Amino acid sequence: MLLLLVVLIFSSQLNDLIQPTSSHLIQNLSLLFIPACVGAFFLSEQINLQLPKLLLAVIVSTPLTMILMTLLITSIKGNKDV
Amino acid sequence: MSELIMHQWQQITESSWLIFFSILGFSVGVFVYRRCGNHPLSHPLVISTPLIGLTLYLLDIDYGVYYSANGILNWLLGAATVALAVPLSQQLKTLSVLWPTILLTVLSGGFFAAVSVLVIGSWLILEPIAIFSLVAKSVTTPIAIIITEQLGGLIALITFLVLFTGIVGIVVAEPIFKFFSLHDERWQGLILGVTAHAIGTLKAFEKSPRCGAFSTIGMGLNGIWTALFLIPLMQSFGP
């Protein structure tokens, strides 16, 4: 991915060439996750017991990260819409 | 090298008719999603995976058999990860002066997202395998799968947790921006991209193309950054 990124930054012709294909692929990206995601219903008993804790960790950590980033940006940039 | 190619070839040729469950489920999911006016809680994955899970259960089909039958989809995931570079490169060209702030926010936000779940996870005394399947939760799914695979976590779990993180992210984002009076859509987009990956980016594009563009940058950079620091970090500290 990094390699393609570097190449694309310097070559706009290649960008035009692969853009249509890649945008189709990315638009339907969810389809590719289905097989793995279905596995969530077939997890072992041991993991199922941990699931509430896992969800709790996500529920706590996600807003915390957002607040941290928001504070960081407002302290650098102020609240002005530029 | 030839071993790698053989493995990929095997993955593709293992595909079988069970793949139609995925395609049919996805079609139903997209249909419902559009009907619900693209509401995040009706995301195609939220609709289609329980349907497919239930079908497999009712028809008594083993999950392992279903998973390998979808070999070609799993193989395409690698190509899709690389393809994420395309929108990222387009957005990168549009900015210059904002670089320092963008880099600082993405690097610290991405780092905090992973370390905070790690700390909370160990505090809640999760099993190591559960923590390994949790840390990449803020990263877009194709990259999260690669990271989790390398750490030895469960792919099924991380896909589900990434989806869940995205939904939590877009639900809490608006109140947080309002409370801290962050009105600039560019920075809102960046934050959505870093914390809520593709689902946040989808939400950002609903606000404005500019917001979406920044979200794409946040998601892409955070994906690369997390892959770079998380794998060595986890391997050196262990469970």
Q: What is the pLDDT of residue A81?
A: 47
Of A43, A52, A67, A45, the closest CA to residue B116 belongs to A67
- For residue B93, how many other CB atoms are within 10 A of its CB? 11
Of B166, B188, B161, B193, the closest CA to residue B176 belongs to B188
Q: What is the pLDDT of residue B28?
A: 92
Residue B128 and residue B215 share a domain: yes
Residue B127 and residue B104 share a domain: yes
Residue B115 and residue B228 share a domain: yes
Q: What is the pLDDT of residue B154?
A: 87
Contact indicator for B176, B187 with CB cutoff of 8 Å = no
Q: What is the pLDDT of residue B164?
A: 87
**ipTM for the whole complex:** 0.77
* pLDDT tens digits, B52-77: 989 988 998 888 888 888 888 888 87
Residue B128 and residue B19 share a domain: no
Smallest Cβ–Cβ distance between A34 and the set B49, B126, B183 belongs to: B49
Do the Cβ atoms of A34 and B66 come within 8 Å?
Answer: no
Residue B236 has pLDDT above 50, yes or no: yes
Over chain A (82 residues), the average pLDDT of each successive run of 10 is: 70 73 76 82 77 89 91 76 46
Residue B239 has pLDDT above 60, yes or no: no
Smallest Cβ–Cβ distance between B163 and the set A37, A65, A80 belongs to: A37
Smallest Cβ–Cβ distance between A69 and the set B57, B109, B121 belongs to: B109
Residue B101 and residue B64 share a domain: no
Residue B113 and residue B217 share a domain: yes
Do the Cβ atoms of A58 and B165 come within 8 Å?
Answer: yes
User: B13 CA to chain A: closest CA distance, Å?
Assistant: 16
- Whole-angstrom Cα distance, residue B122 to residue B127? 8
Find chain B residues with C-beta within 8 A of A62's C-beta. 113, 138, 165, 168-169, 172, 195-196
**Three-state DSSP class for residue A7:** helix
Do the Cβ atoms of A15 and B90 come within 8 Å?
Answer: yes
**Three-state DSSP class for residue A81:** coil
Residue B64 and residue B116 share a domain: no
Find chain B residues with C-beta within 8 A of A73's C-beta. 101, 105, 182, 184, 187, 190-191
* pLDDT tens digits, B12-52: 887 788 888 898 999 998 899 888 887 767 888 888 888 99
Smallest Cβ–Cβ distance between A62 and the set B48, B126, B165 belongs to: B165
- Whole-angstrom Cα distance, residue B8 to residue B3? 9
CA dihedral B182, B188, B192, B194 (to 10 degrees): -90
Residue B190 and residue B125 share a domain: yes
Find chain B residues with C-beta within 8 A of A11's C-beta. none
* pLDDT tens digits, B124-153: 877 888 888 888 888 988 889 889 988 888
Contact indicator for B29, A30 with CB cutoff of 8 Å = yes
Q: How many domains does chain B have?
A: 2
The residue among B61, B82, B103 that closes a domain is: B82
The residue among B55, B82, B109 that closes a domain is: B82
Do the Cβ atoms of A43 and B154 come within 8 Å?
Answer: yes
Residue B113 and residue B226 share a domain: yes
Which domain range does residue B68 map to? 2-82
Residue B179 and residue B65 share a domain: no
Q: What is the pLDDT of residue B238?
A: 56
Residue B65 and residue B18 share a domain: yes
The residue among B82, B109, B133 that closes a domain is: B82
* pLDDT tens digits, B171-221: 899 899 989 888 888 899 999 999 998 888 888 887 887 888 889 889 989
- Whole-angstrom Cα distance, residue A62 to residue B50? 24
Helix (H) or strand (E) holding B6: helix B2-13
Residue B128 and residue B13 share a domain: no
Q: What is the pLDDT of residue A29?
A: 76
Q: What is the pLDDT of residue A78?
A: 63
Q: How many residues does chain A have?
A: 82
Q: What is the pLDDT of residue B118?
A: 87
Of B224, B233, B223, B227, the closest CA to residue B197 belongs to B223
